[in-house]
Amino acid sequence: MRVDRATGWLDAAWRRLSPNHDERPDGMAVDLIVVHGISLPPGQFGGPWIDALFTNTLDPDAHPYFRTIADLRVSAHLLIRRDGDLAQYVSFQRRAWHAGASSFAGRSRCNDFSIGIELEGADHIPYDDRQYARLAEVIAALRTAYPTLAPDRLVGHADVAPGRKTDPGPAFDWARLRRLLGDAN
């Protein structure tokens, strides 16, 4: 697995192009990975709904919950589905709209300097083994392409938006991911 630095695309991912992105600020280095959890409808897995949300094609009549989010304009750089399948929505060179109002280490606007990785999951449902393996592979490829992504620059959405977001939730095993990455103490 490799990131093409010239284009910002991961060679192992399906491309599902989102219009929800823009330029990073001039000279802004990518130095943070934000891990998220998402399921649509909440607590349900599979189906086309996450792709539809990130590409602004979500049918508000397909599920009652979708009426509450159909007008959102959000994205992520990557999605790792339950089976480990990868979709990329936004080039790593661009700012994806994943973290919202956020801050890390005294810096606000985390979208400016982060890569957002969504895991198909829910806060209290264990993530799949294949997702951990794939996430570790992705992070290793990103760290090779972007040496500024140090081990201490890996956080959850809840860490950058406390009180507003809870994902990837208590079901996510951070220690397991760090062992897979070789980051464990």
User: Tens place of pLDDT for every residue, the chain, 185 residues?
Assistant: 999 999 999 999 999 999 999 999 999 999 999 999 999 999 999 999 999 999 999 999 999 999 999 999 999 999 999 999 999 999 999 999 999 999 999 999 999 999 999 999 999 999 999 999 999 999 999 999 999 999 999 999 999 999 999 999 999 999 999 999 998 65
Backbone angles phi, psi at 81, to 5 degrees: -75, 170
Rounded to whole angstroms, what are the CA distances from 140 to 55, 105, 137, 155? 27, 23, 5, 15
pLDDT score of 141: 97
pLDDT score of 183: 87
pLDDT score of 184: 66
Residue 34's CB is within 10 A of a number of other CB atoms, namely 30
- Tokens read off for 71: 């007008």
Residue 72's CB is within 10 A of a number of other CB atoms, namely 13
Q: Is the peptide bond before 60 cis (omega within 30 degrees of 0)?
A: no
CA 182/CA 81 separation, integer angstroms: 23
Task: Write down the catalytic residue from 23, 118, 120, 137.
Answer: 118
Check if 118 is active-site. Answer: yes
**Which residue ranges form the domains of the chain, and what is each CATH number?**
3-181 (3.40.80.10)
pLDDT score of 185: 55
Strands 78-80 and 114-120: parallel
